[in-house]
Amino acid sequence: MNQVVTDPRIRVSRHDDGVVSVTIDRAEKKNALTFSMWQTLAAVFSRESALPSTRVIVLSGAGADFCAGADIGEFADLRDGAGTARDYEAANSAAFRAIRLSSVPTIASIAGICFGGGFGIAAACDLRIATQDARFSVPAARLGLAYPQDAMQDIVRACGAQTAKFLAFSAARLSAEQASNAGILLETVADRPALDARVAEIAAGIAANAPLSIRASKASIAAVESGDPADAVHARELGDATFGSDDYREGRTAFSERRTPRFRGL
């Protein structure tokens, strides 16, 4: 059995409304992710998304920045040569996959730097909201390394193939305005207080809606993107289950009674 790594620099806070906050807490290093932090990030998203009480997960960075990506200081020991690089990328890929495959909606709350693997984890989220001073980059070409395919697939889905190619080939930095124009961002806001308030508003709105419906919708969108027949079957099963749910009855009753529904995820 693989040992479960728990790095305290990945902080988790659970709120009564079903919103879970995951914070990368290494502000002194611009929230650069160490190997153990990558492992913990994967474990946290897998665990939290599987809990019935979780309605939405918000990913953010402590301090002024979202995430500077992988900690380059570890590369000489943990990413030196193809063999160790594959092991390191497996931890990266597990984190990307856990975020991407979360059964509940995920929101990246982005301030400041969002570079490399930090861009990758943001791209794996469903929604991305950023401050106007946020900056985005895929600097692999300046480091002489390549990103794994699954990290690139999230970036391509987030911004399209042409912008992904430009970022990967040039290692250029995009402003929040440029990222928004490229479709990477849902919204931009003025500053960190506005970001926290807007993300909290969106997360609360999602959490108040019917969770079975949202899970089914997320699965349907994923099936459209993947084109995989198995994903389509899974989405259809989740959709069919909503029609026999207590929440569907509650939604109809609340509508007829002109009141706010109280969904329980049942």
Domain that holds residue 226: 210-257
Count of beta carbons in the 10 Å neighbourhood of residue 38: 26
Type of residue numbered 225: E
What is this structure's pTM?
0.92
Q: How far apart are CA 61 and CA 68, in angstroms?
A: 10
pLDDT digits (tens, 9 = 90+) for 224-260: 988 999 999 999 999 999 999 999 898 999 999 998 9
The kind and range of the H/E element at 265 are none
Alpha-carbon distances, residue 261 vs 14, 19, 258 (angstroms): 22, 18, 9
Give yes or no: residues 164 and 215 share one domain. Answer: no
Rounded CA gap, 252 and 261, in Å?
9
Same domain, yes or no: 113 and 178: yes
From 190, 207, 224, give the residue that closes a domain: 207
Question: Are 52 and 37 in the same domain?
Answer: yes
> What total of structural domains would you count in the chain?
2
| Domain match, 131 and 49 both | yes
Q: Is residue 232 packed enough to be buried (19+ CB in 10 Å), middle (13-18) or exposed (0-12)? A: middle
- Our separate counts of H helices and E strands in the chain read 12, 9
pLDDT digits (tens, 9 = 90+) for 30-71: 999 999 999 999 999 999 999 999 999 999 999 999 999 988
In sequence order, the β-bridge partners of residue 113 are 135
Residues of the chain with pLDDT under 50: 1-3
CATH number at residue 182: 3.90.226.10
The token pair at 216 is: 């089914």
- Whether 31 is in a domain gets the answer yes
**Alpha-carbon distance 105 to 211, whole Å?**
10
Structure tokens, 124: 């794996």
